[in-house]
């Protein structure tokens, strides 16, 4: 719903869960009009009351006033000193920008962003969009700020279209997507990590500092996920005021939070200004990616529930969006590069016998790829390893009743490859500098359309040549020497990302039923941008069950479980050497898209195979619920020895609990469930519970006397 009142005017976008008020303030001395965000949060009735935040009557543009103003679109160089959303740079070295209110538009629905990932609507009544038009009176730069409020969700999407309507060439040195101006102080919760340790939850207390997370690696990265929550200091998983922010983009980003001495908090989210420098000639236009902000008073789970539902149903797209995913086996941890047709078929036969539905052939099937030193870019079959080719292998796998999937790393080029011999200028490089390799590889210059076309054709021709149902899209290094043979370095990381998005869009359009899974040395590009093209992501190369508790728990802050791939791997675990039982490994993998990652015939005993058979049966029975049920975190692995989470939908409730180390018996431990739909439920032993029993009395956690123990209880709804 939308109102516009007063002369200012004051805009109020609201639904039953959230209100957003933008007020135009006319400066009494200068006469110019600036737009302020006077409220974002719990629904309110009278938006004009929020004008107290503006000191409208007598405030002039003095120094301290500028530092208090809750600007919605703050700019550089006008004396507010906080992190700005926009900055232009001019040829004469100046960088001062003013953006004043000019007009607004309002429409039902959500406009499409060309060439970028985005949340979407299927019907116009699912959202409404307010567009505020701003202009710099000197340079004539026009900004159209679009703010979409989703119906029945406490969520907004915000993005900016920037047009140079002047006659001077400008450079955008900052072009953010969202600014939140919030009164008060907040803790910041973010997801940090490294390879094998992605998306650990970190809480940084309120401080009069700039707290910022970012990437300048060319990918959103392992280090910081483009996601943050600002919350009240007493907020926890279940209660407290929280503002979530998530950037729908896969490359360089920055989320900066600044509190000042006047009790004002500003959050700015967008492309990383370090690598933007976007030249904007007269007449040119630049569209920022979108940021999605969420409000909840139900703590972190409240924020996650909103992102889970929105991203599962209105960010992910296509054939697989609403379909539970096949149980797969991937050969990577089982064989790495050392396989041939027969070895893969042995794994496939054993997997088929246990009910596994798809075999994925990982790295090493192409060119001369017998280790990671060569062949990226040479996307043709290695017939020494696979004499019947990919087609023959896929057909043999299909004959077992299984689907077949294949790994690619399309954005890369090995210096030892036929592709590099033919096109040494196709990688990112800076003339006169060494070409720094990582994992012995260079990055293709995906800003070039000839390179994009080559990548589309390489992947597409393989997919056309064989019955391939799934693609794992890997990316195993970040940028260095960010330069191109065909363009200057300005804005190159963003042009790279636009190129990757164009390639992925072309492929998903041609192969709409192929299931694409993103990957980047594990979860190094697990972000909402990627999920628009590929509805699931390889969560981490660390597949140890204990380590995965933290990784998957953290990932679930922003991402629905149907996007989180989770596989059972060998024990002792390859990454950490820990020995865990097949039950614990399987129970942890229920936290996402379930699969296996081992040499089944050689790395499992007969007894383990029987457990696997039962696990696969269970997954098939409950996967509708793990795909789209409400996922709630109950006990955190970051806070104690026991982790627990649950799924709930109209059919069942699934409680998963894990105890890392055994302890002497200290009396029963109960976990109370949350967000359980009304009904009567029955567990495996025939005991019945109502939703109130589950939520108020809780369930007793019982683990066997051993380290690395788990329990999964399924409560089927009986009425
Ligand atoms: C990194 C991925 O995360 C792994 O799963 C595997 O696909 C390797 N790359 C293959 O090189």
Helix segments in 490-581, DSSP class H: 492-510, 528-531, 545-555
pLDDT, tens only, 364-381 = 999 999 999 999 999 999
Give the pair of three-digit tokens for residue 277: 């420098």
Binding site membership of 521 for ligand 1 (Cβ less than 6 Å): yes
State how far the Cα of 268 lies from the Cα of 255, in Å rounded to an integer. Answer: 6
Give the pair of three-digit tokens for residue 11: 């805009």
Atom of ligand 1 nearest to the CA of 597: 5
pLDDT, tens only, 153-184 = 999 999 999 999 999 999 999 999 999 999 99
Question: How confident is the model at residue 668, as a pLDDT?
Answer: 86
DSSP E strands, 281-415: 285-287, 291-296, 328-330, 358-361, 403-408, 412-413
Distance 537 CA to ligand 1 centre (A): 12
Atom of ligand 1 nearest to the CA of 541: 3
State how far the Cα of 161 lies from the Cα of 573, in Å rounded to an integer. Answer: 48
Options 541, 542, 544, 675, the catalytic residue: 541
pLDDT, tens only, 307-328 = 999 999 999 999 999 999 999 9
Residue 661 has pLDDT above 60, yes or no: yes
Question: How confident is the model at residue 93, as a pLDDT?
Answer: 75
**Beta carbons within 8 Å of 320's beta carbon, 6+ residues apart:** 515, 535, 536
- Give the rounded percent of residues in the chain with a pLDDT score beyond 90: 91
Question: How confident is the model at residue 78, as a pLDDT?
Answer: 83
Distance 513 CA to ligand 1 centre (A): 23
pLDDT, mean of residues 693-710: 96
Q: Which residues pair with 285 in a beta bridge?
A: 163
Binding site membership of 569 for ligand 1 (Cβ less than 6 Å): no
Binding site membership of 474 for ligand 1 (Cβ less than 6 Å): yes
In 3-state terms the chain splits into helix, strand, coil percentages (rounded to 5) of: 25, 35, 45
Which of 197, 331, 332 for a ligand 1 pocket mutation test, highest count of atoms within 8 Å of Cβ? 332
State how far the Cα of 159 lies from the Cα of 269, in Å rounded to an integer. Answer: 10
Q: Whose CA is nearest to atom 1 of ligand 1?
A: 521
pLDDT, mean of residues 280-296: 97
Which of 371, 475, 521 for a ligand 1 pocket mutation test, highest count of atoms within 8 Å of Cβ? 521
Residue 92 falls in the annotated catalytic set: no
Options 252, 474, 599, 675, the catalytic residue: 474
In 3D space, the residue among 94, 116, 127 whose CA is nearest the CA of residue 285 turns out to be 116
pLDDT, mean of residues 575-589: 98
pLDDT, tens only, 493-544 = 999 999 999 999 999 999 999 999 999 999 999 999 999 999 999 999 999 9
Question: How confident is the model at residue 55, as a pLDDT?
Answer: 65
Binding site membership of 519 for ligand 1 (Cβ less than 6 Å): yes
Using CA atoms, how far residue 281 sits from 90, 174, 286, in Å, is: 11, 16, 10
DSSP string, 650-668: SSEEEEEEEESS-----S-
pLDDT confidence of 667, banded at 50, 70, 90? confident
Atom of ligand 1 nearest to the CA of 519: 3
Binding site membership of 517 for ligand 1 (Cβ less than 6 Å): no
Using CA atoms, how far residue 484 sits from 10, 40, 428, 491, 503, in Å, is: 47, 42, 5, 11, 18
Mean per-residue pLDDT of the chain: 96
Question: How confident is the model at residue 489, as a pLDDT?
Answer: 78
Distance 439 CA to ligand 1 centre (A): 11
pLDDT, mean of residues 659-669: 89
Question: How confident is the model at residue 63, as a pLDDT?
Answer: 61
Question: How confident is the model at residue 61, as a pLDDT?
Answer: 55
- CB 556 within 8 Å of CB 564: yes
Binding site membership of 136 for ligand 1 (Cβ less than 6 Å): no
Binding site membership of 407 for ligand 1 (Cβ less than 6 Å): yes
Binding site membership of 473 for ligand 1 (Cβ less than 6 Å): no
Binding site membership of 408 for ligand 1 (Cβ less than 6 Å): no
Distance 475 CA to ligand 1 centre (A): 8
pLDDT, tens only, 85-129 = 999 888 777 788 999 999 999 999 999 999 999 999 999 999 999
- CB 86 within 8 Å of CB 76: yes
State how far the Cα of 365 lies from the Cα of 338, in Å rounded to an integer. Answer: 10
Which of 334, 335, 362 for a ligand 1 pocket mutation test, highest count of atoms within 8 Å of Cβ? 362
State how far the Cα of 421 lies from the Cα of 414, in Å rounded to an integer. Answer: 10
Q: How far is the first Cα of the chain from the last one, in angstroms, to the nearest whole number? A: 37
Q: Could you give the 3-state DSSP secondary structure of residue 585?
A: helix
Give the pair of three-digit tokens for residue 440: 């012995």
Residue given tokens 């799924």 in the structure block = 647
In 3D space, the residue among 171, 179, 90, 166 whose CA is nearest the CA of residue 135 turns out to be 166
Binding site membership of 412 for ligand 1 (Cβ less than 6 Å): no
State how far the Cα of 659 lies from the Cα of 707, in Å rounded to an integer. Answer: 7
Q: Whose CA is nearest to atom 11 of ligand 1?
A: 363
- CB 552 within 8 Å of CB 539: yes
Give the pair of three-digit tokens for residue 333: 């941890």
pLDDT, mean of residues 209-226: 97
Q: Using CA of residue 189, residue 233, residue 659, residue 593, what is the dihedral sign?
A: negative
Taking the CA atoms of residue 443, residue 447, residue 453 and residue 457 in that order, the dihedral angle to the nearest 10 degrees is 30
Distance 409 CA to ligand 1 centre (A): 9
In 3D space, the residue among 595, 592, 596, 589 whose CA is nearest the CA of residue 570 turns out to be 596
Binding site membership of 86 for ligand 1 (Cβ less than 6 Å): no
pLDDT, tens only, 380-430 = 999 999 999 999 999 999 999 999 999 999 999 999 999 999 999 999 999
pTM, two decimals, is 0.97
pLDDT, mean of residues 58-77: 79
Distance 412 CA to ligand 1 centre (A): 13
Binding site membership of 522 for ligand 1 (Cβ less than 6 Å): yes
In 3D space, the residue among 142, 209, 150, 147 whose CA is nearest the CA of residue 175 turns out to be 142
- CB 299 within 8 Å of CB 114: no
Q: How many residues does the chain have?
A: 719
Question: How confident is the model at residue 29, as a pLDDT?
Answer: 81
Which of 375, 474, 523, 575 for a ligand 1 pocket mutation test, highest count of atoms within 8 Å of Cβ? 474
State how far the Cα of 45 lies from the Cα of 435, in Å rounded to an integer. Answer: 59
Q: Whose CA is nearest to atom 10 of ligand 1?
A: 363
Question: How confident is the model at residue 95, as a pLDDT?
Answer: 82
pLDDT, tens only, 348-362 = 999 999 999 999 999
Residue 541 falls in the annotated catalytic set: yes
Binding site membership of 362 for ligand 1 (Cβ less than 6 Å): yes
Binding site membership of 547 for ligand 1 (Cβ less than 6 Å): no
pLDDT, mean of residues 236-252: 98
């Amino acid at each position: 719903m939308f109102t516009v009142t007063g002369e200012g005017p004051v805009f109020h976008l609201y639904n039953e869960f959230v209100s957003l008020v933008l007020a135009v303030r006319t400066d009494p001395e200068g006469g110019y009009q600036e737009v302020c965000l006077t409220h974002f949060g719990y629904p309110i009735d009278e938006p004009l009351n929020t004008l107290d935040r503006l000191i409208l009557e007598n405030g002039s543009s003095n120094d301290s006033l500028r530092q208090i103003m809750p600007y919605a679109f703050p700019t550089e160089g006008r004396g507010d000193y906080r992190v700005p959303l926009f900055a232009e740079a001019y040829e004469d070295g100046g960088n001062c920008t003013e953006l004043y209110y000019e007009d607004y538009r309002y429409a039902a629905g959500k406009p499409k962003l060309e060439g970028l990932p985005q949340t979407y609507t299927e019907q116009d009544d699912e959202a409404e969009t307010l567009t505020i038009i701003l202009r710099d009176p000197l340079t004539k730069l026009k900004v159209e700020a679009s703010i979409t409020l989703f119906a029945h969700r406490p969520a907004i999407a915000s993005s900016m279209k920037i047009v140079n309507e002047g006659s001077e060439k400008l450079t955008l040195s900052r072009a953010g997507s969202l600014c939140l101006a919030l009164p008060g102080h907040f803790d910041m919760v973010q997801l940090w990590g490294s390879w094998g340790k992605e998306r650990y939850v970190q809480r940084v207390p309120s401080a009069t500092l700039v707290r910022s997370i970012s990437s300048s690696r060319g990918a959103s990265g392992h280090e910081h996920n483009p996601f943050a929550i600002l919350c009240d200091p007493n907020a926890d998983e279940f209660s407290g005021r929280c503002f979530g922010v998530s950037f729908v983009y896969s490359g360089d980003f920055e989320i900066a939070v600044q509190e000042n001495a006047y009790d004002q908090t500003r959050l700015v989210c967008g492309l990383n200004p370090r690598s933007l420098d976007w030249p904007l000639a007269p007449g040119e236009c630049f569209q920022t990616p979108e940021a999605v902000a969420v409000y909840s008073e139900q703590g972190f789970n409240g924020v996650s529930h909103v992102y889970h539902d929105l991203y599962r149903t209105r960010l992910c797209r296509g054939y697989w969006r609403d379909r539970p995913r096949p149980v797969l086996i991937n050969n990577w941890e089982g064989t790495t590069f050392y396989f041939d047709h027969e070895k893969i078929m042995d794994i496939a036969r054993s997997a088929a016998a246990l009910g596994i539905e798809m075999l994925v052939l990982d790295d090493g099937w192409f060119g001369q790829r017998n280790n990671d030193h060569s062949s990226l870019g040479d996307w043709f079959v290695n017939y020494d390893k696979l004499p019947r080719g990919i087609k023959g292998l896929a057909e043999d796998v299909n004959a077992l009743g299984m689907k077949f999937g294949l790994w690619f790393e399309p954005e890369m080029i090995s210096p030892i490859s036929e592709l590099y011999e033919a096109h040494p200028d196709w990688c990112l490089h800076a003339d006169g500098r060494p070409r720094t390799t990582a994992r012995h590889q260079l990055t293709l210059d995906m800003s070039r359309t000839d390179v994009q076309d080559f990548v589309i054709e390489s992947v597409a021709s393989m997919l056309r040549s064989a019955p391939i149902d799934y693609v794992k899209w890997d990316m195993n290094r970040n940028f260095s020497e960010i330069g191109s043979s065909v363009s200057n370095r300005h804005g190159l990381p963003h042009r790279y990302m636009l190129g990757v998005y164009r390639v992925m869009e072309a492929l998903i359009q041609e192969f709409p039923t192929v299931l694409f899974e993103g990957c980047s040395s594990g979860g190094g590009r697990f972000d909402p941008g990627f999920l628009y093209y590929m509805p699931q992501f390889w969560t981490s190369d660390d597949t140890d069950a204990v380590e995965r508790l933290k990784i998957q728990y953290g990932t679930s802050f922003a991402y629905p479980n149907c996007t989180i791939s989770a596989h059972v791997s060998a024990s002792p675990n390859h990454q950490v050497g820990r020995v865990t039982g097949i039950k614990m490994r399987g129970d942890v993998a229920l936290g996402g898209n379930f699969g296996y990652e081992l040499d089944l015939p050689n790395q499992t005993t007969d007894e383990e195979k029987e457990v696997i058979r039962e696990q696969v049966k269970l997954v098939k029975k409950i996967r509708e619920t793990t795909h789209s049920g409400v996922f709630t975190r109950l006990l955190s692995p970051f806070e104690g020895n026991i982790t627990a989470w649950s799924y709930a939908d109209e059919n069942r409730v699934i409680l998963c609990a894990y105890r890392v180390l055994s302890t002497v018996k200290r009396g029963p431990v109960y976990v109370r469930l949350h967000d359980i739909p009304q009904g009567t439920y029955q567990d495996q032993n025939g005991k019945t519970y109502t939703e109130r029993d589950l939520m108020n009395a809780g369930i007793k956690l019982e683990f066997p006397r051993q380290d690395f123990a788990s329990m999964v209880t399924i409560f089927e709804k009986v009425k």
